[in-house]
Amino acid sequence: MLNYLILMLFPAALAYAAVMDIFTMTISNRISLALIAGFPLAAIAAGLPMATVLMHVAAFAIVLALGFTLFSFKLLGGGDAKILATASLWVGLEMVLPFVAIVTVWGGFLALAFLSFRKIPLGAFPLPEWAARLHKQGNGIPYGLAICAGGMFIYPKTALFKALMT
């Protein structure tokens, strides 16, 4: 039973991050911290060897460095960089490249969708504040959605997921 609760932490946190990103255009540090704090529990419950745990930490460090590089060039939000790195901690080094590739593809689709949405004149349609903000030209794109999609797709393929399922 405990394994299933631990197993659900990752997708629940990513889903919450995506929803928060849509409504507020921010991803709370608490979500990343919860995933970081939950990873040792997941690793212990899954019986991961220390070498594998260290490879997960390496994935986190590499993606964090990449994310903050993109953030410094204003290509990615700070919350997005942190949740992407934290998700990489759970995904592990063996699946980090497919994960980042999937996030990138979903991010491209998301960007096209928002660019199209922002071209639609909404004159007579009243929108809630959060939707109006998403519609406004020049505003960012809630990339947490792409990170969530990538995480949901790749997570069942990870060694951590498979070990927690047994």
pLDDT digits 0-9 by tens, 25-74:
999 999 999 999 999 999 999 999 999 999 999 999 999 999 999 999 99
* Segments making up each domain of the chain, as ranges: 2-165
**pLDDT at position 160, please?**
96
**pLDDT at position 131, please?**
87
Residue 29 vs residues 18, 78, 102: alpha-carbon distances, Å? 13, 10, 23
Instruction: Kindly state the tokens that stand for 130.
Output: 């959060």
Residue 140 vs residues 96, 135, 137, 153: alpha-carbon distances, Å? 25, 10, 9, 24
Q: Residue 84: pLDDT above 90?
A: yes
* Radius of gyration of the chain measured on its C-alpha atoms: 17
**pLDDT at position 1, please?**
74
- pLDDT digits 0-9 by tens, 98-143: 999 999 999 999 999 999 988 888 776 788 889 888 888 888 899 9
The structure's pTM equals 0.93
**pLDDT at position 138, please?**
82
Helix/strand/coil for 108: helix
**pLDDT at position 74, please?**
93
**pLDDT at position 165, please?**
92
**pLDDT at position 11, please?**
98
Contacts of residues 31-34 at CB distance under 8 Å and 24 or more positions apart, as own/partner, are: 31/83, 31/86, 32/79, 32/82, 32/83, 32/85, 32/86, 34/9
How far apart (Å, rounded) are the C-alpha atoms in residues 97 and 59?
9
Instruction: Kindly state the tokens that stand for 51.
Output: 């070498």
| Contact assessment for residue 106 and residue 149, using Cβ atoms and an 8 Å cutoff | yes
